[in-house]
Structure formats: C-alpha cells, structure tokens
Structure 1
Amino acid sequence: MWMRVLGSAAGGGYPQWNCTCPTCRAVRDGSRPCVPRTQSSIAVSADREHWFLFNASPDIQTQIESFPALHPGDDRVVRLQAVVLTDAELDHTLGLLLMREGRGLEVHATTSVRETLTSGTGILPTLEAYCPVTWRPVTPGTPVDLGAGLSYVAFDVPTNKRMRFAGADEYGRVVGYRISDTASGRSLVYLPCVQQLTDDVLGELAGCSALLVDGTCWRDDEMSNLGLAAKTSRDMGHAPIDGPGGTLELLSSLPIDRKVYTHINNTNPILLADSAERRQLDRHGIEVATDGLEIEI
C-alpha cells in the first residue's frame, strides 16, 4: 500500500493569505528553512493504479496536477475511485465542488457529515446539480471493502467544537480511518482532526504501521500568544502537540513505524526546519509532513 500526502497544512494553507505571523513571513521571504504547503488531504492505493482520496481540499486541482499518478490516461480514465471524508470542514470538502466536471463522484461520509454538507454548507446539493453523486454511508466500527486491495474502518473522534452549521449529530461529526492493505494486512491510520487522544482513540492506533495525526498547533494558546485569536487549539477542535496531555506526550512511546504530523497550522513553529520544536520532534522520531511525502506501507 502507498500513501501520498497531497496537502499537509491546516485550513488556509501555508502561508495563509492574510497572515503575517513569524512562520508566514519566513516562508515568504526565505529567511528560514521552510516550504509552502497546501490544505490537508492524502491519496492511498494498493496498486498505484486505483487511488482513493481522503478529504478534498480547496487545493485539489493543484494537488492532482502535482502527482502524475492521479492524471487521467490517454483513455481519459480517472484514477481517483472515490472521496472519503473525515468531517464536513470547508478545508476538507470544498474540493468536491472542483471535481464537478467528472461523470460521477463516489463520496464516503458519515450521516452527520452528509447532513452538514446537505443542509448546512449546501455543498452536496450544489455538487449534485453538476454531476451524479453516489453516497456511501460510513458507520464507525463497520469494515468497508473499497476494492482494488484496500479496506477501511472508521472510528468516532469525539469533539465539542462549536458547530457552525446546524443539523449534524454529534456522533460521527469527526472520524478517523484505519486503512488496510487486504493482501498484507498492514494498515495506516489517518487522523487529521482530534481534540483529545482519549483511551478509545488511542486504542484505534494499536498495531498500525503508520500514523498521520493532527499537528495543527504546537501550544494550546498559540493563537492568542500571537495576538491572532482568542480561541485555544482545543477550542478549534485540535489537541496541541506540546504540554500536559498533548499529543507528543501520548504518542512518543507508541510502537508505530512512522508517526507523522499533518494538518499543520500556519502559526506552528514545526513548519520551520531549524526550530527548537522541530528538533524536539526529531529526538522523539516523529516526522512533519510536507506536500508530496510518500510512504510505502
């Protein structure tokens, strides 16, 4: 099984268009070692021919063009088989509208996510006005055979983040996915949004070979310290990396071959390759995703 990081930034990308925080300034002026990133999503395949997209970011067109394996062949066959959603956030779903030129689109999502896309953001009915959409219901704990050598099991990721759009059930509002190669049995866990690594969520990581996990903010008060927002990282639905109960503390000792932070906010100092925070991750053997990172599992 192969996994390609198409985008590794949180909503707004890196740099964010309206931000002048130190990390955004550094990537614009080249004063420190860092690279731009698009908004988070991954593509997964067991045969490098049939690919499944996990989340569809607003940067989907650029991401597809940057990865030749996703380009249509001379026969105009589309390599992307389906889109699988972890939540209904705009940075994970707006790309669906940019895929409206297709002859049809298969979308996997929980009932809660589908309700938000329908009666909340209106993305699903808008998309359906342009192309046929086949909705595949996602039920946490129920295995799904994607075909082409892959399967997944979703798991609920509890969150009390304030809902911007009405109509969504709490259960299944955010999910993670354990994606497995049906031939080898090896698996990848994709968890770009997690407010707290509860015992149940940590249990879902057991035995996986690779983990892509929420790396939105380094500190819980990161945004307020920069004078950018009053909300904490947890208020925004994301566990911080550092501090008591942070993800670094809980993930460092887990016996997982590859542990990679993704969905990284533009304010997070781990975006800077020479930062003390990045060196701390290096000491713990945890990576920081960049667009284009590929992992064979």
Structure 2
Amino acid sequence: MWVRVLGSAAGGGFPQWNCGCPGCRAVRDGRRPTTARTQSSIAVSADRKRWVVINASPDVRQQFAAFPGMHPGDGRVTPLEAVLLTDAEIDHTLGLMLLREGRGVDLHCTAASHDVLRDGTGLLTALEKYCPVRWSEVVPGTPFSLGDCEFRAFDVPTAKHDRFGTGGDSGRVVGYRITDPDSGRSAVYLPGVQELTPSVRDELDGIDALFVDGTTWVDDEMIQLGLAQKTARDMGHLAVGGPGGSLELLSPLPIGRKVYVHVNNTNPMLLDDSPERGQVVDAGMEVAEDGLEVEV
C-alpha cells in the first residue's frame, strides 16, 4: 500500500497569500531554506493504479498535475477511485468543484459533513448542477473497502466552533485507519486533532505509519505573531511543541513512520534550519513536503 502526500500545508497553503510571517517571507525571498507547500490532502493506493484521495483541497488541480500517478489515460479515464473527507472544512472540500469535469464524483463522508456541504456551505448543491455526485455515508467504526484497501473512520472529538450549526459532534471530524488486507499493514491519517484522547490514541495501536496534525508549534502561535486571536485549540488542533504537545506524546510510540501534515504557514518547523525542525528530527519524526510517498 502506498500513501502519497498531495499537499502538506494547512488551509491557505505555504506561503499564504496574505501573510508576511517569517516562514512565508522565507519562501518568497529565499533567505532561509524551506519549501512551498499546497493545502492538506493525501492519496492512497494498493496497486498504484487506482487512487483514493482523502480531502479535496483547493489546490487539487496543481496536486494532480504534479503527480504522474493521477494523470489520465486514454480519453478522460482517470485513476481517481473516490474522494473521502475527514470533515467539511473549505480547505478540505473546495477542490470537489474542480473535479466537476469528470464523469461524476464518488464521495464518502459522514452524515455530519454531508449536512454541512448541503445546508451549510451549499457546495454539494452547486456541484450537483455540474456532475453526478454519488454519496456513500461513512459511519465511524464501520469499515468499508475501496481500491483493494480497507478504510475505517473514527471520531475525533473537537470543541471547534460549529460555524454552520448543522448537527452534533458525532462524525464532525474523523480520522481514517487504512489497512492493506493482503499485508495486514496499516496507516492512520489524522490531519486535525485537538486532543489525543484515549479513544484516538487506541486507533494508533499496531499501525505502521502515521500522518498527523502539525498545524502549530505552540498553542498561542497566531496570537504571538499578531495574526489572529485564536489558539490552536480554538481551531481544533493540538500544538506540536512543549509539554503535552504531540511531539512529546507521539515520538515514543513504536510506529515506523510518523509524519507531520497539515502544517500551518506560521509553524517554524517548516523552516529547514529552525531549532523546531531539529527537535522533530531528533525525536524520530518527519515534516512532510508535497510529493512525499510512503510505502506502508
């Protein structure tokens, strides 16, 4: 089984168009070593012929163009099997509109995300005016198969503001445990997590690769930089650094590859020469770049 990181940045990408933080400046002026990144998404395949995409970012066209495995064959037949969603956030769903030229979209998401896409953002209603949308409900805890891989969503508790007020917390944010039935090896994709609760932590037992939320380094990062008045926790994310951060909690786990994805433009670990990047590397974890491919 292969996992391809299509996009490794959080919403807005890196650099973010309206941001002059140290990281975004470094991308633009080249004074410090770093790499531009598109918005968070991965592709999964058991045979490198059919790919399941998890989260359709606004950068999906650029991501597909940069990945030969997603290029079409004769006519307009593509290797895209389906799109799965971890939530209904704009940075994870706006790319669905860019898939409208195809023969339809096979969309797998929870009822909570479906409600937001239809009654909140209205994105699903608009998309259906352009192409067929075949929705399959994802029920946390219930496995399903796509492209010879098994997927099982699990609830990720969040206290993030419910912008559209379309329902309860169940299924609002999920992670995915992905298993290759032939090898028995598995990976978890968890781009948004506010707390490593016992139930979330249990989902990491016995896995071989982890792609996990790396949004900010410290909880009040945006406040310190004068860019916003929200903490990482307010936005539904667990900070990487410091006591109780994800680096401290995850680095001891016996997982072969532990990779940070969904990294915000403000996070100093995006700078290759930063002390924060050094701490991540020393702890045996990685910061993803677009195009990273892991064989699980």
Q: Does 1:120 align with 2:120?
A: yes
**SS of structure 2 residue aligned to 1:260:** strand
Structure 1 equivalent of residue 40 of structure 2: 40
Structure 2 equivalent of residue 240 of structure 1: 239
Structure 2 equivalent of residue 3 of structure 1: 3
Q: For residues 211-266 of structure 1, what are the alpha-carbon distances to aligned partners after superposition, in whole Å with 9 as ceiling and x for unaligned?
A: 00000000001001101111101001100001222111110110000000000000
What is the distance in 1 between the residues matched to 2:288 and 2:267?
Answer: 13
What is the distance in 2 between the residues matched to 1:170 and 1:2?
Answer: 31
TM value normalised by structure 2: 0.99
Give the residue type in structure 2 aligned to 1:48: R
| Alignment of structure 1 residues 64-213 onto 2, 5 Å | 64-146=64-146, 148-213=147-212
User: Deviation at 1:145?
Assistant: 1.2
Structure 1 equivalent of residue 272 of structure 2: 273
Q: Does 1:12 align with 2:17?
A: no
**SS of structure 1 residue aligned to 2:87:** coil
User: Deviation at 1:164?
Assistant: 1.3
Identity, in percent, stands at 64
Q: How many residues align?
A: 296
What is the distance in 2 between the residues matched to 1:133 and 1:76?
Answer: 17
Structure 2 equivalent of residue 291 of structure 1: 290
> Quick check: 1:55–1:84 contact (8 Å CA) kept in 2?
yes
Consecutive unaligned residues of structure 1, counting only runs of 5 or more, are none
What is the distance in 1 between the residues matched to 2:57 and 2:64?
Answer: 11
> Quick check: 1:100–1:127 contact (8 Å CA) kept in 2?
yes
4+ residue runs of structure 1 moved beyond 6 angstroms? none
Consecutive unaligned residues of structure 2, counting only runs of 5 or more, are none
What is the distance in 2 between the residues matched to 1:250 and 1:2?
Answer: 26
> Quick check: 2:112–2:167 contact (8 Å CA) kept in 1?
yes
Q: For residues 2-43 of structure 1, what are the alpha-carbon distances to aligned partners after superposition, in whole Å with 9 as ceiling and x for unaligned?
A: 111000000000000000011110111000010100000000
Give the residue type in structure 2 aligned to 1:40: S
What is the distance in 2 between the residues matched to 1:168 and 1:83?
Answer: 22
**SS of structure 2 residue aligned to 1:152:** strand
What is the distance in 2 between the residues matched to 1:290 and 1:68?
Answer: 17
User: Deviation at 1:45?
Assistant: 0.3
> Quick check: 2:76–2:102 contact (8 Å CA) kept in 1?
no
Give the residue type in structure 2 aligned to 1:107: L
What is the distance in 1 between the residues matched to 2:56 and 2:75?
Answer: 24
**SS of structure 2 residue aligned to 1:126:** helix
Structure 2 equivalent of residue 28 of structure 1: 28
CA RMSD of aligned residues (A): 0.7
> Quick check: 1:45–1:52 contact (8 Å CA) kept in 2?
yes
Q: For residues 39-73 of structure 1, what are the alpha-carbon distances to aligned partners after superposition, in whole Å with 9 as ceiling and x for unaligned?
A: 00000000000000000000000000000110110
TM value normalised by structure 1: 0.98
